[in-house]
Amino acid sequence: MALTGKRVAILVEDLYQDQEVWYPYFRLIEAGVEALVVGTNKKEFKSKHGYPITANVTVDKVSSKQFDALIVPGGYAPDILRRYPEVITLVKEMDREGKLIGAICHAGWVLCSADVLRGKTATCFFAIKDDLVNAGATYVDRDVVRDRNLITSRKPEDLPAFMRTFLAALAE
């Protein structure tokens, strides 16, 4: 599946879930996508296990017009990401423009804060199910859920299904 010419932003912050950043990153590159790591207010971020990643750019320097899609990984990073108005603005703009948004695990917190879940069906890590429901989503317990431009998954073990669905949607 050659997706040359497509650009996808992957949001990062400290305490990101290692697999939920690196697995999508390498799958995107494998498919010919330009994957850009977008951080908040610095260049280097540490995962839950201390593994570093260097951001290509900070979120205050990008706009939705630069990307075809966005991935929000999980871990504890989403609780930090949602505190940045620029992150919330980027997610809202991507949604308003109908661009693909992928969210894994605790990434649902960012979607809640961006108010992009109303009327959509989604999944997430079971511990934040109530947050998604209270934000207006219909929750289902499945490995991957696609509702229009939104693709969600529950946990790292769901990454193969998540990326198959994400890449297929990006190719449309």
Residue ranges per domain, the chain? 7-171
> Which residues contact residue 125 at a Cβ distance below 8 angstroms, ignoring those fewer than 6 apart?
74, 105, 106, 108, 154, 155
pLDDT recorded at residue 2: 79
- Flag whether the pTM goes above 0.95: yes
Pick the CATH number of 7-171 from 3.30.230.10, 3.40.50.880, 3.40.50.150, 3.40.190.10: 3.40.50.880
d(CA 37, CA 161): 22
Question: Which residues are known to be catalytic?
Answer: 106
Instruction: Map residue 58 onto helix, strand or coil.
Output: strand
Specify whether the CB–CB gap between 62 and 11 falls below 8 A: no
Which helix or strand (DSSP H or E) is residue 92 part of? helix 85-96
* Token digits of residue 32: 């010919």
pLDDT digits (tens), the chain, 172 positions: 579 999 999 999 999 999 999 999 999 999 999 999 999 999 999 999 999 999 999 999 999 999 999 999 999 999 999 999 999 999 999 999 999 999 999 999 999 999 999 999 999 999 999 999 999 999 999 999 999 999 999 999 999 999 999 999 999 9
